[in-house]
Every structure is written in C-alpha cells, then in structure tokens.
C-alpha cells in the first residue's frame, strides 16, 4: 500500500490499495495504479537505505563504546 499526503502530519491522505512483495516480485491489487515496472528499483533503494542506516548505527555504537572505554577519545580523566 502506498500512502501519500500534502500535509507533513498526514492529517488527510490518499492510499493506493496495491501491495508489492519484492521477494517474490508479486502484486496484489484490483487495478494497477502504480508503475509496476519501477517498483523493483524503488524496493531495492529502500533496502539499500535501510542497510546503510543500520551500518551507520552500528559504527556509531562501536565508536561510543570505544570512547567509553578510554580508547583515546575525549579529554580523559581529570589531572
């Protein structure tokens, strides 16, 4: 399902009642409102973006953990 709105808080919205399942490249819907040829690329982009966010969060977590242990980050203990 794709939901779109002209408002940032989605107070009102429109929905397209089609579902795309990228693992099987299958669609469910009564009428093809969406450009089905473009959805595999959109799905791949969303997956890449999610992977990038997860990798960034993991790097941030590791850097914070290294900083908490001394690891040369920060000002160190007071003199």
Q: Dump pLDDT digits (tens) for 7-41.
A: 787 888 777 677 778 888 887 777 666 667 777 88
pLDDT of 11 reads 83
CA distance 43 to 21: 9
User: For residues 16 and 9, is the Cβ–Cβ distance under 8 A?
Assistant: no
pLDDT of 60 reads 92
pLDDT of 19 reads 77
CA distance 44 to 55: 16
The bridge status of strand 26-28 relative to strand 19-21 is antiparallel
CA distance 9 to 56: 27
pLDDT of 58 reads 92
pLDDT of 15 reads 72
pLDDT in tens, 41-77: 887 888 888 899 999 999 999 988 887 655 555 555 5
Return the domain boundaries, the chain. Answer: 34-68
């Amino acid at each position: 399902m794709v939901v779109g709105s002209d408002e940032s808080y989605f107070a009102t919205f429109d929905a397209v009642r089609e579902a795309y399942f990228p693992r099987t490249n299958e669609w469910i819907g009564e009428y093809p409102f969406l450009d089905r040829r473009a959805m595999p690329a959109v799905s791949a982009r969303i997956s890449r973006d999610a992977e990038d966010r997860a990798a960034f969060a993991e790097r941030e977590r590791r850097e914070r953990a290294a900083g908490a242990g001394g690891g040369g980050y920060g000002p160190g203990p007071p003199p």
